[in-house]
Chains A and B, each alone.
Chain A
Amino acid sequence: MIDIQGVSKSFPGVKALDDVSFTIEAGQVHGLVGENGAGKSTLIKILSGIHTEYSGTISIEGRPIRFASVHDAQKQGVATIFQELTIVPELSVAENIFLGREPVKLGGLINWQEMRERSVEALSFLDVPLSPKTIVGTLSIANQQIVEISKSLVLNSKIIIMDEPTSSLTEHEVKQLFLLIGRLREKGITILYVSHKLEEIFEICDTVSVFRDGKHVGTKKKTETDRDDIVKMMVGRSLQMLYPERTGKRQDLLLSVKGLTREGEFEDVTFDLYGGEIIGFAGLIGAGRTEMAKTLFGTVPFDSGEIILHGSKKLRFRHPSEALATGVAYLSEDRKGEGLMLQLTIKENMAVSILKKIAPRFFVKNKMEREIINSYAEQFKVKMVSMDQVVESLSGGNQQKVIITRLLMTESQVFIFDEPTRGIDVGAKYEIYKIMNDLTMNGKGIIFISSELPEVLGISDRIFCMREGKLVKVFDNAEADPEKIMHVLTGGEVA
């Protein structure tokens, strides 16, 4: 039995886990569900020994524990199968299973025979026909995962945590995995199963715990709940007060996307964006929304389909500079990697996309640059001491505003905001929603990608649901509700 009492964990600007208390019964498969950012991964990282700084207590079998490292957690019986597998592809199955704790003979030589025998033992318990001599890199993802599970068996783990284990498996492989999980349960091993696919949770778990906004919402036995109930727990929250009133009015057609396809990423995406409109794109991670957005911006090419601006102009950008010059701006979900130049100043970061304007004949017009930046910074309440301050020293919300200001200065017509509020506090979120609304008042169109359903519902006029690269359903804001959308996103029937 794992008892979690009052566990909290904060990151700069965000409370990732807020006073979480619940119990995981021994010998069960316990599901952990919640939207992206609900706190599931933070909890797993604490339980697996990655995050060592947190408040509250965790005890296993009544004994309080506090892991110092992943290695420490493994020694004490908690093994984690991460989404990103930790196998070494060049080594054999047996070498991977015993990596870092190879059995040795007298004199320090590796006891290959024991290693092979015990590997065979673990693999035959799982009933998988794998040879311990096979090189792991040649195996399928599913079999590599089995190698990781064998690793935890050899460690005599009492608790195995699986983080989205089916995300790269085929349907058949998922069935195999579930059989295997059943065998582990029979052996008395407790399994913490993290997933956002509700069918899987209901198929394999005995108990489900729901997380939302870093809080534990509830724990229910599978027999006492149903899909709708869980979805309600995942998304239910008051939408008032968190979002500004939508005052932009729908105007002329701005952007038409027809049958846009990129092999393996998204397929046949068709939609219209009008001036004065915010259209939300809801979906789970891997639904293809970001790839689609990058195609519109020109950083990722597309295979077929059309992008038409103002009803006539066909677009196929080869470089972001073309997109920005034409009036299509993109805010990346990856603020540090594809947004900020952290060691440069606020001024340099903001002006980088309008260098042609502030330096029309090669030389930077310093006065003009400062005036433009000052007026924008004032209008959008960027909190800074000076524009010569290094961007890295700003809070997450203000960093995000620096990039948004950069995009606004380009005076584009179409704005694509990809997860604009990720990792920033509630107050700054509100200000970003407000900037979005103000943009639509000036006739701009916004494509808003977010994995947080409440904000998609809170600010979008229409909501497009993407699943596995396809647009599966469109809701008008009036007819949409979180349960309906979550139902569509998690693979429910589309009515």
Chain B
Amino acid sequence: MSTAYQPDLQKNNLKQYFQFRELPILLYIIVIIIIFSTMIDGFFTVKSFENISRQITTIGIVSVGMTLVILTGGIDLSVGAILSFAINIGGQGIVLGWPIWLVYTVMLALGVLLGFINGFLITRVAVPALIITLGTMNIYRGITMVITDGIYITGIPSSFQTVGYGFIPLVFFVIVLAFFIFMTLQTRFGRNLFAIGEGGQSALYSGVPVNKYKIISYVLSGFLSALAGIILVGKSGFIQPQAGMGYEMSAIAAVVIGGTSIFGGSGSILGTFLGSVFMGIIIAGLTMLAINPFWIGFVTGVLIIFAIALDSLRQRRKG
């Protein structure tokens, strides 16, 4: 018999916000910073950290949505396609001279709509999320290419670039992070998300509205992809149909490197933040070392496999 029961009233909120799971990735970040700082002159400077912070924000915001979906035991391969769809189709409004608030509203609404389609299909059709979103990824991209005919939107009014100045993208990222850290840890929504990912049938039998929350997670993923798209437009000053290409892989990498289980039910938004910081530093370091950019894909792939292998080892040891 284990230790007798003791009343347990003190709160452990600090511990809750910073679970043990994130410690290794924090150490990796420190190690990688030390390595790059010794190898590259000018790596350990404010300028280069500003660059990194600007780079990680778009994929970082997408990764937050991806985390929510993966926590439920699902996956969303269509994030990059939704981003592109939202800014390209919504961007037609810019061409027509719509006001900025209307264009932004349409872009975000498109993200929500496409996310809802994903969630609806996944909960109604007995096909894994991987396959459904692989399908919708191609459908969304296809529609985008047909409608835009592959043509860039340029000459965007400067008001659209406000969200892309200096540290403003980072501010958006931090707000999204804070909001969803709170959502996952302190709300009914968060509790249900973890229960669905870990429990499956157990969550259903506990009375959790499983399908409803799955749909919500895909809707949020779509919304955040569109938001990332808006910031991307702000940073680059134009809209291209190929935007967000490969974002799904980078986002999955940030999520799993951040310690969220690809099998669902455990992980954190904070971990995903650290995961995207880690990825951002690696990519910046490799770029500054003037290594062929094609190696970045290679490194991302290796890191994904490594992180998932670690996770699956952890699962097996427990199971």
Contact = CB atoms under 8 A, between A and B. Distances in A.
B11 interface: yes
A368 to B, nearest CB: 12
Interface string B84-96: 0000000000000
A388 B12 contact: yes
Interface in B196-236: 198-209
A378 B206 contact: no
B45 interface: no
Contact of A385 (B3, B7, B9, B318): B3
A296 to B, nearest CB: 13
Given A341-B199, A384-B5, A332 B194 contact: no
Interface string B1-32: 11111111101110000000000000000000
A299 B318 contact: no
Contacts of B266: 343
B222 to A, nearest CB: 21
A359 B207 contact: no
B186 A363 contact: yes
A459 to B, nearest CB: 23
Interface string B147-169: 00000000000000000000000
B188 interface: yes
Contacts of A383: 1-5
A370 B9 CA distance: 6
Contacts of B189: 362
A124 interface: no
Contact of B202 (A338, A366, A370, A398): A338
Contact of A374 (B7, B194, B195, B200): B7
B265 interface: yes
B5 A320 contact: no
Given A355-B192, A385-B3, A364 B205 contact: no
Interface in A331-361: 332, 334, 336-344, 348, 351-353, 355-356, 359
B202 A320 contact: no
A183 B189 CA distance: 64
A336 B319 CA distance: 11
A332 B189 CA distance: 25
A321 interface: yes
A281 interface: no
A377 interface: yes
A258 B23 CA distance: 58
Interface residues of B, number: 35
Given A341-B265, A385-B2, A320 B198 contact: no
A319 interface: yes
A344 B205 contact: no
Contacts of B188: 355-356, 359, 362-364
A359 B183 CA distance: 12
A51 B208 CA distance: 38
B187 interface: yes
A144 B102 CA distance: 66
B194 to A, nearest CB: 6
Contacts of B186: 363-364, 366
Contacts of A30: none
Contact of A353 (B4, B7, B207): B207
B318 A392 contact: yes
Contacts, number: 115
Contact of B187 (A320, A362, A377): A362
Interface in B240-297: 265-266
A352 B206 contact: yes
Given A359-B188, A362-B188, A320 B195 contact: no
A287 to B, nearest CB: 21
B205 A320 contact: yes
A370 B8 contact: yes
A310 interface: no
B19 to A, nearest CB: 11
A353 B1 contact: no
B5 A382 contact: yes
Nearest to B4: A383
A381 interface: yes
Contacts of B192: 352, 355
A386 interface: yes
A95 B111 CA distance: 53
Contact of B7 (A343, A344, A378): A378
A262 interface: no
A406 B7 contact: no
A191 B188 CA distance: 57
B5 A330 contact: no
Contacts of A374: 7-9
Nearest to A344: B198
Q: Which interface residue of B8, B12, B187 has the most chain A CB atoms within 10 A?
A: B8
Contact of A406 (B194, B200, B204, B206): B206
A134 B203 CA distance: 44
Contacts of B205: 297, 299, 320, 330, 332, 338-339
Contacts of A348: 191, 194-195
A332 B205 CA distance: 8
26 contacts: A320-B207, A321-B209, A323-B207, A336-B202, A338-B201, A338-B204, A341-B195, A342-B198, A342-B318, A343-B265, A344-B194, A344-B195, A344-B198, A353-B206, A355-B191, A359-B187, A359-B188, A364-B191, A366-B186, A371-B9, A374-B9, A378-B7, A381-B5, A383-B4, A385-B2, A386-B8
Given A344-B265, A387-B8, 14 more contacts: A320-B204, A320-B206, A330-B205, A343-B266, A348-B191, A352-B192, A352-B203, A353-B206, A366-B13, A383-B1, A383-B3, A384-B5, A385-B3, A388-B12
Interface of A: 297, 299, 319-321, 323-325, 330, 332, 334, 336-344, 348, 351-353, 355-356, 359, 362-364, 366-367, 370-371, 374, 377-378, 381-388, 392, 394-395, 398, 406, 410
